[in-house]
Chain A
Amino acid sequence: MNEPLTTLATQRDHPMEAANGTETSIVYDQLDLLSEMSREFTNSRDMTASLEKAVAHITAYLKAEGGALFMLDAAGKTLVCEACVGATEITGLTVPSDQGIVGRSVQNHSAEIVRDVQKDPNFYNKVDEETGFTTRSIICAPLRVKDERIGAIELINKQSDDGLFSDEDLRLLETMCASAGLAIHNARQADALVEQEVLARELELAAEIQRSLLPMERDDGYPVHGINIPARTVSGDFFDFFELDDGRICFNLGDVSGKGMNAALLMAKTASLFRCLGKTIHQPGRLLAVINEEICETAARGMFVTMVGGIYDPRSGIVRIANAGHEPPLFFDAAATCNSFEAEAPPLGITTFLADGDRYPENEFQLAGGSFYIFTDGVTEGYLADGSEMGVTGLIKILLAGADRTAAERLADVVRAIEEGGGAIRDDTTLLCLEDKSRADAAQSIDMEPKASTDYMGDEIMNLQVPSRPDRLKLVRSAVSQAAAYCDCSDEMVRDVVIAVDEALQNVIRHGYSNRADGEIKVTINRTVDNFLVFIRDYADTVNVEQVQPRNLDDVRPGGLGTHFIREVMDEVTFLPPPDGRGNLLKLVKRIA
């Protein structure tokens, strides 16, 4: 059934055969066996085939009727026959690791010889009963490396008149098993190494994808900066920020429970949900609630995400945040007084039942030259050089000490304090800073004005995009009309709002895009408690606001009426600075009386 390993047989049959029985030949044979098996394992990568060849070789060498190689399973409870040659086919046979002669040999790290098996109480005679084979004599030696039990090789019945093994046979088997054990051990190590390398490569790939989920670092003047240092290759922490069409900046920082691959996967999912949904849901509390529903629906049991999500308006300086079970973020106002925002709602993925119904509670404040920080517990639980935990107090100290440095430098200061302190970082370490130095000077004047937040905040009712074609105006009028009615505008107000939007779009098509049909126009409708807001975004050349003036109506002539209509019917008409400097953003406000 199993062919003896031909190369080994050849080597053995000639130079070794003649010298069989001498110490030198035994040593040579050991080396042969070891090198052959090693080569076999390396070349074939098929452990079972290599084992079969090894057993066949040993069985033939010791002139036994049959041989079997047993391996101990991972739990160490069972011996499994992995390869066998000769007398009876028992591949796959399992023996409890504390039974039989094989079991005894493995347990005791000892070579066993049973000249007459029928007299040995440890003999496992089930095989003989089932196969009709008569076992007379057994030698068995353990396969092991140091204290690591691998298994054993058992030979049955010497091919001689009495069929009995000698002590010399036993000694030979024992030494050959030592070599075989080493070869198997090496092969396993090599396998594990290969597997480890594959895993490491995959993990590195996962980490690379994760890093790509983080936003690009911006220049010092940008209001948001973040840093993420994973404790392992992949991270359960994340942060992100991105700009909306109207110039506001959406940001977040989150921490997935647990570490490792499962945390990293949930992190990737949550970060993607935030980025995707954050573009259309502009209220942090509502945004977190929608993400929560998604995670609750599909997240693995027991995993959750703590997160602070927010939106910052560089024009008004207003920050709105929602906290889902996360470490309280810190806000240092311009006078360096520190406030924290405790989470008033559970982490994402715990429950869809929220005290505030369909949203997480929000906090709103004026940045006004201050600095806002969100961070994970990897920061506060990091060790400092004196062996103590950094804690919130330690963090505040470092942040205040770096007040004159840039936000990015300050965040790096915090990470360095932990790296220098505890040696290896124990937990994923992530921080995000929001501060707007460009607004620091404006802080005073802003405070004097009534809160401008309601000017662009509020629920988004509708968002539609049309090409700059006159034949789409009817569609827009219809949609705007429905949206205004939906927002409880009176019939007159609906009519006026429709006129204003229609005229504004006409201006964009005719003057902005010079009647080109391939321009892009976005109409967004928001409502607050008492305002109906329309944002009209285009990517045409930026208009000179001074030139967009209503005409003198006493001069009866065609054209130039549109702008007048808009100003006449709306309560507020403003050209906002277009985000990233391209095109125009017109804001129209109608008060809902």
Chain B
Amino acid sequence: MKHEIREETAGIVVAFEGDVDLQSSPDARKVLLDCVGMGKSVVVDLSKVGYIDSSGVASLVESFQSARKGGRNLVLASVSEGALRVLKLARLDKVFTICDSVEDGLSALG
């Protein structure tokens, strides 16, 4: 799994590429918490994540809760069908703000 972080005016955009599974989710978790720690809201670009498992979802949830605690937001953008299936299974599709694109996500951060 690879990732890329860039800073926009509205917030941090972190893009993951590859599978977020038991092997890579500890890294993903660290990246996500670091982004949240940068003091801005975060857009997570999942367009290039083919597979995300429960541990990956857990990392998203943890970062989301951390961001919220600091009064910021964490939104998901360009969620692939596979990842969306997992979010739906966890009933998290109603918890997260899921945007069609990174641009929409940045706008959603408001």
Residues of A in contact with B (beta carbons under 8 Å apart): 470-471, 473-474, 477, 492, 495-496, 498-499, 502-503, 506, 509-510, 553, 556-559, 561-562, 564-565, 568-569
Contacts and interface: CB of A to CB of B under 8 A. Distances in A.
A108 B67 CA distance: 120
Nearest to A565: B89
- Report which residue of A498, A510, A558, A565 has the largest number of chain B beta carbons within 10 angstroms of its beta carbon: A558
A568 B62 contact: no
A513 to B, nearest CB: 12
B85 to A, nearest CB: 6
B53 A503 contact: yes
Contacts of A510: 22
B58 A473 contact: no
Nearest to B95: A556
Contact of B22 (A495, A496, A506, A568): A506
19 contacts: A470-B23, A474-B21, A477-B19, A477-B51, A492-B85, A495-B82, A495-B85, A498-B51, A502-B53, A503-B54, A506-B21, A506-B55, A509-B22, A557-B61, A558-B61, A558-B62, A561-B90, A565-B90, A569-B89
Interface residues of B, number: 23
A492 to B, nearest CB: 8
A564 B61 contact: no
Contacts of A503: 53-54
A470 B22 contact: yes
B78 interface: no
Interface of B: 19, 21-23, 51, 53-55, 57-59, 61-62, 65, 81-82, 85-86, 89-92, 95
Nearest to B85: A495
B85 A561 contact: no
A499 B86 contact: yes
B23 A565 contact: no
Contacts of A498: 51
Contacts of B92: 556
A267 B81 CA distance: 57
A471 B53 contact: no
Contact of B53 (A499, A556, A568): A499
Contact of A558 (B19, B53, B59, B81): B59
Contacts of A496: 85
B23 A473 contact: yes
A568 B82 CA distance: 15
A209 to B, nearest CB: 48
A511 B81 CA distance: 29
Contacts of A559: 54, 58
B96 to A, nearest CB: 10
B65 to A, nearest CB: 8
Contact of A561 (B22, B58, B62): B58
Contacts of B95: 556
Contacts of B91: 553
B85 A506 contact: no
B82 A556 contact: no
Contacts of B58: 558-559, 561
Nearest to A515: B22
Nearest to A507: B54
- Report which residue of B19, B54, B91 has the largest number of chain A beta carbons within 10 angstroms of its beta carbon: B54
Given A499-B89, A568-B89, A569-B89, A561 B57 contact: yes
Nearest to B51: A477
A238 to B, nearest CB: 47
A470 B21 contact: yes
A548 to B, nearest CB: 14
Nearest to B58: A558
B90 to A, nearest CB: 5
Contacts of A492: 85
B105 to A, nearest CB: 20
Given A506-B54, A561-B54, A562-B54, A473 B21 contact: yes
Nearest to A561: B54
Contacts of A565: 54, 86, 89-90
A510 B59 CA distance: 16
A477 to B, nearest CB: 7
